[in-house]
Structure 1
Amino acid sequence: MNKAPTIFSFFSGAGFLDLGFEKSGFNVAFVNEYHLPFMETYQYSRNHMGMSQPEYGYHLGDITEFERNPKSELLSKLINQTKSEDRLVGFIGGPPCPDFSVGGKNKGHEGENGKLSATYIDLICKQSPDFFLFENVKGLWRTKKHRAFYELMKDKLHSHDYVTTERLINSIEYGAPQLRERIILIGFKKSLLNKLGIELEAGQTLTDVFPWEDHLKYHIEEINAMPWPGMEPFAENGKRERPAGISEELTVDFWFEKNDVGNHPNAHQHFTPQAGLARFLTIPEGDDLKKSYKRLHRWRPSPTVAYGNNEVHLHPYKARRLSVAEALALQSLPKEFQLPQNITLSNAFKTVGNGVPYEASKGIAVTILDFLKVGEYGEANRS
């Protein structure tokens, strides 16, 4: 196989996951997102990065619309057209996850967002792409009451001839400066596995042969063993030497410097408190375990980039909250990636927090390419 697999993206947000797939060698041809500010950011960022429009366009609307005609027929037509050109078709998407998050609504599959996970799985079964990726919070996989729903979704996929593999990833293992766990479920049609010459022996599962660890930059055990600094008194604009023995590329300050956040187009965009500045001055650098008012440490990774539920993330050595530019850097995005200037601060931080870290997106994408024996990763796999 030497043609770039074609991606149909759902719950695309501002396109962090899509960008990782595009930059790794996939053709992201179809983009679906419901929230207009996310879609506008997707289009704006791609335009400013000089990237072409998706082959099959942007589709603003609820994913449930693709369960009904005429949008169901349109989707089927595009998929059939792609397959007729001997191109593999893949679905990727991370349905909204607060209903499965311990820190969110926790309503599970009965919540409005929880139902969208089932809709996405139904769409996969109906439209029958060659492979798919499903991304969600670890609560869906780890919490007992949600795990039963997760297993039912897998059962449905298996009944439609998909073979699946899953892993609880941490984005930092792929080189993102952020501790962010997510469950990744990937599935391939049995017919595709046969074409690839992949046969599972008795007792084997797809996880036994899928190269999950081949494109990790670190293992969490070695990261945890590094001598990361603890809490230190806040010093506005103060200097601190980088400790020996840590990986600099996994730190907040490395990415701030790498992305030149002070001169980034979104540098000036941050919330300014009407009150409470004194509190900003008292929280130590590295005090990031509280529910709210977390101050990052410049020489550590960031906690999960999430800015809802009253989570306030403070700059390591400035008496303010993080800027949009700094949040984008912590999502490991290229410095050229930017958000529209007219986006509201609430939508900006929601956009950033909802995305999959770019380095993790790339790592997962090249792992799939490796498995599919496509492009440079496939060539390496065949040699």
Structure 2
Amino acid sequence: MLNSLEKQTPKIGIFSFFAGAGFLDLGFEMTKDFETLFVNEYHKPFLDIYKSSRTNLKIAEPHFGYNAESIETFLNKRGSQFLGQSIEEARATHDLIGFIGGPPCPDFSVGGKNKGVEGENGKLSGTYVELITRNNPDFFLFENVKGLYRTKKHREFFNSIKTKLIANGYYLTEKLINAIEFGAPQDRERIILIGFKRNILTDFGLELNGSPILKAFPWDSKISHISKIVLSLNWPTQETFVENSTKRCPNDVLEELTVEHWFKKNDVENHPNSNHYFQPRAGLPKFLTIYEGDDLKKSYKRLHRWRYSPTAAYGNNEVHLHPYKARRISVADALAIQSLPKEFVIPDNISLTNMFKTVGNGVPFLAAKGLAETILDYIKNVKIKNPEYAEVIG
């Protein structure tokens, strides 16, 4: 199956689904040895952002192109044939093929529609798993909200898709990650499910017995912080809002995890998206009364400059205010909170609604990069028979 198992560093091709503006993909693309070969995103404005950002970042177009159809297209004869042929062609030039994707999650979100698998978005998670089992990539990554993992109603569905994947020869590992652990200035939990085909693991020389759980997967090998420790630090709470004020960073916090650090790092005031923010209709007086750091409400949350951000969610009338400016955060601010490189730019012709929606939906870049590096670390170490990675089955 593999072209060069003896090589320590494989060449890995990625097929991306539900790509959005490509934050997850960018994490893989910025990790050596991964190459994005195919991109699927149903919402055209998001795909337009994806294409434009790759031009700015000087990343080559995917070999098999961009696709703006529903993922369900790849279950019919035409779509299935295209995808199958593309994967077969990719195997001739790549050692491994992986699927990555985060199906739309409002139906599993505690604060969302909560319709679960019966919702229109919820059904797409099942479709993604069906695509995986039909096309048999060597590995896959599935990303979703923590509600799929923690809510009893949705957990049953989550368990059912794992059962299906196991029945189709995948060995699995899962973890509820927090983006702040990878260095993103954001408290954002997501469930990540990763699977490898049995034949790939045996080709690596692993002996597989018992339960199909990857026991020694190095989930913590690329994290820079432990979320429980970080979140328990003496972060500043609420202070009176003073427009255009300056404040020194407290000594007992991690400055690199604060929104102000990332605002400066990305030079947000001079970023091309710095003037892209919603103007208040009748809310300016209210903006002025909300304390810096008052982010406990459903909406009208004002970030604290010397604290991490709550989960970047900019839809459903959830308003996030700038720490020390009398306005909502800008798209440039939001991109920084998602830990994207400052070179990532959203074109002017995209509506503000679509700008903020795709930023809020995306996987924080540093978390995406950390996951890519973790997968690569696992592959490389099992191939060279590193004993720390040899204990596979629970």
Q: CA deviation at 1:198?
A: 2.8
Amino acid at match of 2:148: L
Cα drift, residue 181 of structure 1: 0.3
Match of 1:80 among 72, 88, 99: 88
Preserved CA contact (<8 Å) 2:339 2:365:
yes
Aligned match of 2:12: 5
Which residue of structure 2 aligns with residue 330 of structure 1? 337
Structure 1 residues 106 and 338, CA, compared in 2 at 3 Å: closer, same or farther?
A: same
**Hey, what's the Cα distance between the residues in 2 that align with 1:233 and 1:37?**
38
**What is the distance in 2 between the residues matched to 1:75 and 1:382?**
37
Q: What does residue 134 of structure 2 align with?
A: 126
1:44-83 aligned at under 5 Å gives the runs: 44-83=52-91
Q: Which residue matches 2:297?
A: 290
Residues 107 and 119 of structure 2 are in contact (CA less than 8 Å); yes or no, is this contact kept in structure 1?
yes
Question: Is 1:254 paired with 2:261?
Answer: yes
Aligned to 2:391: none
Query: 1:270: Cα distance to partner?
Result: 0.3
Amino acid at match of 1:282: T
Question: Cα gap change, 1:382/1:365 in structure 2, threshold over 3 Å: closer, same or farther?
Answer: farther
State the partner residue of 1:181: 189
Deviation at 1:281, TM superposition (A): 0.5
Judge conservation of contact 2:172–2:212 (CA < 8 Å) in 1.
no
Q: Greater CA deviation, 44-53 or 175-184?
A: 44-53
1:237 is aligned to 244
Q: Which amino acid aligns with 2:285?
A: A
TM-score, scaled to structure 2: 0.93
In 1, distance between residues paired with 2:309 and 2:205? 42
For the residue of structure 1 that corresponds to 2:30, the secondary structure is helix
Which secondary structure does the structure 2 equivalent of 1:185 belong to? strand
**Which position in structure 2 is the counterpart of 1:20?**
27
Residue 34 of structure 1 pairs with residue 22 of structure 2 = no
Q: Match of 1:177, SS?
A: coil
Contact 1:36 1:60 in 2 (8 A): yes
Tell me the SS of whatever aligns to 2:362. coil
Q: For 1:157-198, what per-residue CA distance to the aligned partner results, in whole angstroms no more than 9, with x for missing partners?
A: 000000000000000000000000000000000111112223
Find the partner of 2:119 among 107, 111, 122.
111
Q: Which blocks of at least 5 consecutive residues in structure 1 are unaligned?
A: none
* Contact 2:300/2:319 (8 A) holds in 1: yes
Runs of 4+ aligned residues of structure 1 deviating over 4 Å after TM superposition are 200-204, 377-383
CA distance in 2, matches of 1:329, 1:84: 38
TM-score (norm 1): 0.96
CA spacing shift, 1:378–1:318, aligned 2, 3 Å: farther
In the alignment, structure 1 residue 341 sits paired with structure 2 residue 348: yes
Instruction: Return the alpha-carbon distance in structure 1 between the equivalents of residues 179 and 281 of structure 2.
Output: 34
Cα deviations by residue, 1:125-164 (Å, 9 ceiling, x for unpaired): 0000000000000001100000001100000000000000
Shift of 1:382: 9.2
Contact kept, 8 Å, 1:370 with 1:378, in 2: the verdict is no
Change (3 A) 1:245 1:378: farther
* Count of equivalent residues: 380
